[in-house]
Structure 1
């Protein structure tokens, strides 16, 4: 082919590319540069799918137009500097379920528009360098869940001022990382299933836009006073399944926008009236699975927006009306698995149950006359117009003065009666023979006498009666069976 011809073909090819629609051109470019071990699709944008491809190393190149890359569930062990080259259009990168143990500082350089980064389920990541996320100035969400992290550097998010969501659940943190302080754009923090032991007064400073905080299933025993004072926009807070025994006098001060608070599964024994004084917008409150014995009057008086209250699985015996009155308009109330004392102090609750049909399953533990009944089945007596508590039953049984006969006496009595009714026409020698046969071989006698007339039938009945009496102490039943 001559030079002129080559230039002509090249020019026609370029002209053809120029005439192609932009979408078709992008699709062609995405597929053309797709790594051999991956699949590339172009719908609205270029997506590179390299998941489950048994990759031990990253491909050398990715399509420049790639907007998302999925390298989940491979065998990657190491991310070098600029591991993905320069991909100006990349917005989502997922490296879930690999064997990554080390990330070189600057590994994500060249990804200036990355928004979502997932490193979850890499059990060998136990350390992150301060410059791990260098260059990711537009990062909004990062997921480091279920790794082997014991901490992260305080300045690791120095460039990530746009960061809104951090997922670090199921690691080994013993404290809330200082890296979160003053991250004013953070809205969601997930720290459940770690080993955090305390919430310090400065753990969450400067998080003025935080809306969701999850600290459930840790080892938290202590919450310092005013630990949540900067979380004025917090709406959902899970601190359930920890080891809290007591709380500060006003632990949730300033959380005026909180809508859901989960304190379930702790070791709390009482509720005081200062705890929830600022929670005027709270809609759902979990206090279940604690060891609550009492609730101080006025504890719920400021919860004017409360819709659902969980008090189940505690040690509550009473719920006086003055404690509950401010939230009498609740939509859902859970009270099961408590040792309720179904006295007159709960009569108001029974009436409320019947009126609104919003509460069920309140089994009574006492008094004994109603134990096992549901509160809705208890009928309260009246005396002079006042409610009377159900009585305690006397559990002491009156001893019988009659001396019960022994099994031997009953058997002998039966023998005598059977002999009188069945063998009165038989001779004394024959009767004595039957007795000897029975003593020598009862089973054989039962078989051999079965067909020997009236005396045989008497002997069979005698043996069967004795057998029944050996199984039951109620000889009267045996007497009725045999019609004697």
Structure 2
């Protein structure tokens, strides 16, 4: 009795941190390591365990059981651990969790059970007693659904990771979870978003539904997501959207609709997204963007329109986002005619966009829009296709020929006068010009003029075709001569 008293007294004289270290190590399970830094951590990962240890240190704040061969969790599987805040069971072979398995863990904040491919079913009372649970990871299991009332006691839950399962619909268990801020449901088999799928999620800030099979979104499906900021709907099967699909998402900062089957963009879709900064519409089948589609996106910084079937981007569509920071337009069959002249000027002014390959007209096909020089006639842009020798408008060709004839006629007359008056000897010996010679000289001059006109017209048209000649300058030269 005296010995025991002395031992307890000696323990009481130990510093508090040393006492905690001793207590943590004293009950450390076999095949595990227990460390005491700021708190007691139990490390049992990669230990070849097929069943749970019988007990853990009651002071444990975190337990890591990753990458073992655990198959079954019985009721109160971990006993009573009032200090436990983090429990990780990733990469095991768990197939069944008894209702109440986590009872006795009243302060658990994080529970990780990802990569347990044999978990196909969860009981309504699986997570009972976890009233302070904030983060739950069930990713990469084989869940087909979850009971609607499974989170009835988990009203503190904020982050739910359920990606890469087999859900065919958004679990009804999410409805009414007003404290949820992050939901990860990517890479499931979800086919539709019903009008009531996400009701009551007023504090949700992050929602990931990418890489599912969503082909239908009902009207007002997202109306309760008033604080949503990041929304991933990319890589689904959407070919159309309701007009008011995103109504109410006034705080949305990023929307990803890439990798779907959308063929047009409606002016109603984004009308309420006044705080949107990044919009992905890449990898769709877009051929048309309705005027006014981006009208209210006053905060937009980045727009992805690459990898679609767009051939034109009319200025009234682009004008509201004229001061955007980044614009991605590559991998589209752009028709580089005068309708994109404004875009080329914008590219040159702001240096924010490049790689816009031209698919047509044939005279500029393969060039980048930045390399195309748009010719002008009387101040008006002339499409590169209209400068082709076979398709050049007759009025442009005729006007060019007439001006060249006038210019060349003046030049030849001046040359003839110079020859006739060249040198004092010529003036002394040639008192009269032979009419026949004069006529012959005139015929030769005319033939020469016609030949030279043809050559010059061909030269100017060629220069205009490749965008190397300013037509306004040419007209000034000819009319001013």
Q: Which portions of structure 1, spanning 4 or more consecutive aligned residues, are displaced by more than 2 angstroms?
A: 392-396
Candidates 373, 382, 399, aligned match of 1:379: 373
- Matched with 1:426 is none
Matched, 1:97 2:91: yes
Secondary structure of the 2:320 match is helix
Whole-angstrom distance in 1 between the partners of 2:82 and 2:263: 56
Whole-angstrom distance in 2 between the partners of 1:310 and 1:379: 26
Distance 1:378 1:45, change over 3 A: same
Matched, 1:249 2:246: no
Candidates 129, 137, 152, aligned match of 2:146: 152
What is the Cα deviation at residue 8 of structure 1?
Answer: 2.5
Secondary structure of the 1:189 match is strand
Aligned CA-pair RMSD: 1.1
- Matched with 1:353 is 347
- Matched with 2:61 is 67
TM-score (norm 2): 0.80
- Matched with 1:218 is 212
Alpha-carbon displacement from aligned partner over 1:142-176 (angstroms, at most 9, x marks no partner):
00000000000000000000000110000000000
What is the Cα deviation at residue 11 of structure 1?
Answer: 1.8
What is the Cα deviation at residue 395 of structure 1?
Answer: 9.8
Candidates 222, 227, 242, aligned match of 1:228: 222
Alpha-carbon displacement from aligned partner over 1:116-150 (angstroms, at most 9, x marks no partner):
00110000000000000011111111000000000
Alpha-carbon displacement from aligned partner over 1:15-46 (angstroms, at most 9, x marks no partner):
11111111111111001110011000000000
Q: In the TM superposition, what are the counterparts of 1:110-125 in structure 2 within 5 Å?
A: 110-125=104-119
Distance 1:314 1:395, change over 3 A: farther
The answer to which of 127-136 and 14-23 deviates more is 14-23
Candidates 139, 161, 166, aligned match of 1:167: 161
Alpha-carbon displacement from aligned partner over 1:327-373 (angstroms, at most 9, x marks no partner):
11111000000000000111111001101100010000000000000
- Matched with 2:134 is 140
Gaps of 5+ in 2: 392-481
Matched, 1:305 2:315: no
The answer to which of 89-98 and 386-395 deviates more is 386-395
Whole-angstrom distance in 2 between the partners of 1:161 and 1:8: 51
Alpha-carbon displacement from aligned partner over 1:2-21 (angstroms, at most 9, x marks no partner):
xxxxx232222111111111
Whole-angstrom distance in 2 between the partners of 1:299 and 1:181: 32
Whole-angstrom distance in 1 between the partners of 2:183 and 2:389: 57
- Matched with 1:266 is 260
- Matched with 2:195 is 201
Gaps of 5+ in 1: 1-6, 397-484
What is the Cα deviation at residue 394 of structure 1?
Answer: 7.9
Alpha-carbon displacement from aligned partner over 1:34-63 (angstroms, at most 9, x marks no partner):
001100000000000000000000000100
Whole-angstrom distance in 2 between the partners of 1:334 and 1:40: 52
Q: In the TM superposition, what are the counterparts of 1:27-42 in structure 2 within 5 Å?
A: 27-42=21-36
TM-score (norm 1): 0.80
Whole-angstrom distance in 1 between the partners of 2:151 and 2:292: 43
Secondary structure of the 1:371 match is coil
